[in-house]
Chain A
Amino acid sequence: MSIVLRDSFIEMPARERARAILDADTFRELLGPFERMKSPWLPLQGVVAQADDGVVVARGRLAGKPAVVAAIEGAYQGGSIGEVSGAKIAGVLELALRDCERGAPVRPVLLLETGGVRLQEANLGLAAIAEIHAAIVALRAHVPVVGVIAGLVGCFGGMSLTAALCSRLIVTRQARLGMNGPEVIEQEAGIAELDSTDAALVWSLMGGEQRYATGLADVLVEDDAGMIAAQVRAAFDSVAASRTEQVERFVKRLASIDPIQPPEPAQLRALWPREAPR
């Protein structure tokens, strides 16, 4: 696809992303910016708060079926999860669960663009992330939970666990997924461990293509809103076991690695092929 014709999903803010994923004209935002569900903690620490706390939640339809989308705004505080933004995601997933339990399935989609917990809100953000995880695990018994990491923030920290819990995870080449982000690794372990300004190295380790090649993501897609939306719809037709249910497979994977002599990214692809014995 030519660059000119591409409708970049990465360049869209969270609200546009949610709108682009849902069927045309079905987007209906819950707790929008005019409800002023802001972070009560950031202004106390001299940080300007955003009216929706950086998370857009919306009801709508996917291929005609009831759906709910939670989209994180990566440009606001690095997409970090605070008390309010985390509660919005957890709340919307819990409502979807309630609908599923009543026999009215709702398709949940998470548009992940986040550095993880918001450090200024620490434990409150972590508690919200735990609630998000509990809701995802409960929802998976009823309906696939689909995650998308488009970039350019990526998905890190506690929210990388959220991505791992998704039934299906869709990534672009520009996406990054990892527990610790490159800057954190450099700061904590030194530049000899990882030069966070070396983009080629960073993406070879935690980029979308590598995560897909090693089976840690399910779909690798171009940065195009229409193509990503199509993959989200297709993901709900899949019935494969989620990664976190394949404990033995992943324990074996860890055993295949010598942490004293960690493999190069290309070697890791051979050690951890994406095809799972399902």
Chain B
Amino acid sequence: MEILRFTYPAARAVARRAHVGVVGSGDLEILFEPSADQHSHVTVTTSVEGFATVWKNVLDRFFTRFDGAVAIEINDFGATPGVVTLRLEQAAEDLRA
């Protein structure tokens, strides 16, 4: 198990919360909540160690399209980067809904 933390600048406040996914094989759980400051903070807890660079790449890419100030908690059970991206998009969509 490994815990990774990332911070990204944000352009707007977010009022809602979102929860998607499950900590099941090849999947992950993501919680979005309003951030306490003008940044987005991501905490990743993953069962697979040694993939910090891949996580950074996936999150960098997500935050080129998403500018809300959110605290994100990710509980990962071996999701592939594709699944992570889909779940992030799903949570972002729930915030807008």
Chain A contact residues, CB within 8 Å of chain B: 13, 32-34, 43, 46-51, 54, 73, 75-77
Total chain B interface residues with beta-carbon distance under 8 A: 18
Minimum CB–CB distance from B25 to chain A (whole Å) comes to 7
Expressed in whole angstroms, the Cα–Cα distance for A124 and B85 within the complex equals 36
Expressed in whole angstroms, the Cα–Cα distance for A33 and B75 within the complex equals 12
Expressed in whole angstroms, the Cα–Cα distance for A77 and B75 within the complex equals 13
Which residues on B sit within 8 Å (CB–CB) of A73? 22, 24
Q: Which B-chain residue is minimally distant from A33 (CB atoms)?
A: B19
CB-contact partner of B47 in A13, A32, A48, under 8 A: A48
Question: Do B75 and A75 touch (CB < 8 A)?
Answer: no
Which of chain B's residues 52-83 have a Cβ closer than 8 Å to chain A? 73, 75-77
With A34-B17, A49-B75 as contacts: A75 and B25 at CB distance below 8 Å: yes
Question: Do A51 and B1 touch (CB < 8 A)?
Answer: no
CB-contact partner of B24 in A32, A33, A49, A75, under 8 A: A75
A-B contact pairs, 30 of them (CB 8 A): A33-B19, A33-B29, A33-B31, A34-B33, A43-B1, A43-B45, A46-B1, A47-B1, A47-B47, A48-B1, A48-B23, A48-B46, A48-B47, A48-B75, A48-B76, A48-B77, A49-B45, A50-B23, A50-B29, A50-B75, A51-B19, A54-B23, A73-B22, A73-B24, A75-B25, A75-B27, A76-B22, A76-B23, A76-B24, A77-B23
Question: Do B17 and A51 touch (CB < 8 A)?
Answer: no
Which residues on A sit within 8 Å (CB–CB) of B27? 75
Chain B contact residues, CB within 8 Å of chain A: 1, 17, 19, 22-25, 27, 29, 31, 33, 45-47, 73, 75-77
Closest 10 CB pairs between A and B?
Answer: A75-B24, A50-B23, A46-B1, A33-B19, A75-B22, A48-B47, A76-B23, A48-B75, A48-B45, A76-B22
Which residues on A sit within 8 Å (CB–CB) of B17? 34
Expressed in whole angstroms, the Cα–Cα distance for A233 and B29 within the complex equals 32
Expressed in whole angstroms, the Cα–Cα distance for A50 and B22 within the complex equals 7
Q: Which B-chain residue is minimally distant from A49 (CB atoms)?
A: B75
Q: Given A33-B19, A49-B75, A76-B23, 6 other A-B contacts at CB below 8 A?
A: A34-B19, A48-B47, A49-B45, A54-B23, A75-B22, A76-B22
CB-contact partner of A49 in B19, B23, B25, under 8 A: B23
Which residues on A sit within 8 Å (CB–CB) of B47? 46-48
Interface centre among A13, A47, A73, A75 (most CB of B within 10 A): A75
Which residues on A sit within 8 Å (CB–CB) of B77? 48
Which residues on B sit within 8 Å (CB–CB) of A47? 1, 47
Which residues on B sit within 8 Å (CB–CB) of A50? 22-23, 29, 75
Q: Which B-chain residue is minimally distant from A29 (CB atoms)?
A: B19
Interface centre among B33, B45, B47, B77 (most CB of A within 10 A): B77
Q: Which B-chain residue is minimally distant from A14 (CB atoms)?
A: B22
Which residues on B sit within 8 Å (CB–CB) of A51? 19, 29, 31, 73, 75
Expressed in whole angstroms, the Cα–Cα distance for A49 and B43 within the complex equals 13
Q: Which A-chain residue is minimally distant from B26 (CB atoms)?
A: A75
Minimum CB–CB distance from B45 to chain A (whole Å) comes to 5
Which residues on A sit within 8 Å (CB–CB) of B22? 13, 50, 73, 75-76
Which residues on A sit within 8 Å (CB–CB) of B23? 48-50, 54, 76-77
Q: Which A-chain residue is minimally distant from B17 (CB atoms)?
A: A34
Interface centre among B19, B25, B31, B76 (most CB of A within 10 A): B19
Minimum CB–CB distance from A81 to chain B (whole Å) comes to 16
Which residues on A sit within 8 Å (CB–CB) of B73? 51
Minimum CB–CB distance from A17 to chain B (whole Å) comes to 12
